[in-house]
Amino acid sequence: MTRRRWIADSWGEGTASLTGEQASHLIRVLRAQPGTEYDIVAGDRVWHGVIVGISGDAVRFNLIAEVQADPALPITLLLSIFKFDRLEWAIEKGTELGIERIVPIIARRSEKHLAQSAQNRVDRWRRIARESAKQSRRSDIPVVDDVLPLKIAARQTSDVVRLLLAEQECSTTLRNAVEEAIRNAGAEMPAIRMAVGPEGGWTAEEEALFDAEGWKSVSLGPRILRAETAAITATAVVAALLE
């Protein structure tokens, strides 16, 4: 039987508690009672837990045994700001697919009014990632960074493989680039950072900037995908190759 999973708000040696919305849902909607068993995510570990106390708006668990859990995939998605409902969809599905981090970025062609209000949405995006992580039984929640200007996000240096999704690229496919990265990484799993453009695509200056920062342009095929479709498709391709 698959137990429903909750993400602990606080935990200690052998115990964990839920408070706030999760506890309220458990108490009022599911009418949980002491003795009911659930899976509890505490930090980066998952436990088989049993309710031992309900008081006010808090639910306390004893953690009985650790449950095997899969870690996130080393995939970071730089998502240009595009229509919020579609961006949220990309965050939710990316979380289901196992991504580790989302970096919202302001690109030249991100719509101005969306770019201006994006930072106010970050808490909501973090909640979406958290709910999606719970629903897809992840043991961790992807990090959603504060909104960054593209210039800064592109510049962050590290030894990750950096791939720019670009619909006009016709020689290198995402699949080929990731297969090469896997071969080069030997026994390790390569860390992959991918950037998806806004509805209007990247400007030539942005492409030049990514290029100067060592990003490789890759294609998802000859059809032009909407930004959110590109984000999810790219994540699914990389996840399938890494796993």
The type of residue at 98 is G
- Alpha carbon distance 42, 124 (integer Å): 22
Exactly one of 112, 124, 151, 226 binds ligand SAM (CB under 6 A); which one?
226
CB closer to ligand SAM out of 128 and 165: 165
Instruction: Tell me, residue by residue from 89 to 118, as one string, x for binding to ligand SAM by CB under 6 A and - for no binding.
Output: ------------------------------
Task: Find the residue with minimal CB distance to ligand SAM.
Answer: 197
Exactly one of 11, 202, 210, 215 binds ligand SAM (CB under 6 A); which one?
202
Does residue 201 touch ligand SAM according to CB under 6 A? yes
Residue 222: CB minimum distance to ligand SAM, A: 7
State which of positions 150-169 bind ligand SAM (CB under 6 A). 165-167
At residue 13, the 3 state secondary structure works out as: coil
- Alpha carbon distance 124, 160 (integer Å): 28
**Do the beta carbons of residue 131 and residue 20 sit within 8 Å?**
no
Nearest 5 degrees, angle CA 217-CA 220-CA 226?
105
Residue 199: CB minimum distance to ligand SAM, A: 5
Binding-residue total with ligand SAM (CB under 6 A):
18
> Across 22-100, where does the E strand assignment appear?
37-42, 45-55, 58-67, 75-80
If we measure between CA atoms, which residue out of 16, 41, 10 comes closest to residue 134? 41
Interface residues with ligand SAM (CB under 6 A) are: 165-167, 196-197, 199-202, 219-221, 223-227, 230
